[in-house]
Structure 1
Amino acid sequence: MEKFIEYILQFGNLNKQQIDLIKSKATEVELQKGEYYWEAGKTVRKIGFLTEGVIRVYFYNNKGDEITRYFIDENHLILSGPTIDEIYTPSEYLSAITDCKMIIFSKQDWRDISETILDWDNIIQKIITKHHSEKIARRSELISQDGTERYLDFMQKFPTLINRVPLSYIASYLGITQSSLSRIRKNIG
């Protein structure tokens, strides 16, 4: 819980009463490796913050291939759709690659916090903007790079993930085959 509060405080000020309210609305949960945080086609009714571990965001293309779209690591907020009031049914899966610890809020509890803490929406918007910028920076270069450049870039941008994420997921994220990734790793090793 403290990791979440420390993270939030980087984006705005909260007094003890406000922090106590947030803590009273939050639930700490653990996801075991392989468990889903959410599944495609099932309505999402919670907001999460990852304090420990790695989650993979993936989908199936029209050929039935599993495509890794993104990795979520520590200190990331996982919102439930474009707005808190919207009923959100994702087309992607979020699955724990490692054992994970999360702070979870129901949508109603999140709404209660938003209605009670005047600056809450502003704080959350700053976090969303930061995460969105990071995501765009991480993905945009993949388009113009060859496989080796993509992997080197991945190692630079996700240094803590190289030894925590299976190679098949990294290859999928980079848009290359696992055998290509193995060759690239051997050539730069």
Structure 2
Amino acid sequence: MDRSGFLRPPDPTADTQRLYDEDVADLGYVMNLTRLWAHQPATADGLFDLMRRSLADHGLTKRERAVLVAACASAFGDSYCSLAYGARLADAAGEETAAAVLRGDDDALTAAERALAGWARKVARDPNHTGEADVQELRDAGFDDAMIFAITVFVALRIAFSTVNDALGARPDAELGATAPQAVLGAVTFGRPVAG
């Protein structure tokens, strides 16, 4: 297994290079998951566009999106997205709060954020066991039905993304492991280890 997972590197094309260049411009390095998704750049573009559109016009803050992804990824057992979004949540809410969310403890969150985290975990762990009461918790926290649908689509798409990454062996980037807060690193005790 190399840095990009179990697959061999994709053939170089203008689209694969575009994905790599975007990572370097944004992060200073090419992410392992980008090396994997470079096998189908159009699919990667479409998936991320669909994720963006699913929440467009629904007013979720960056912190709320970080709560959603951190709760979903950790419940699903995906170390890569847990570290990435745990770090983003740490920037927005503090590293102890982020680590707590990754462990399933939402006490430091607002009522709306607790509802988001709880829903994301239920969808990630066993969507066949959600019920009317679970949806009502989201309504009680201020989310209307259109937003609940959008949030659920977003979480489901994040699960699809994580499934591909995890199944094909994409390990969290060494750079991510080096920059994630210590409390976040300590909370991510599942999934694939950080790349060496």
Is TM more than 0.5 here? no
TM-score normalised by L of structure 1: 0.30
Structure 1 or 2, whichever has the larger Rg, is 1
TM-score normalised by L of structure 2: 0.29
Larger helix proportion of the pair: 2
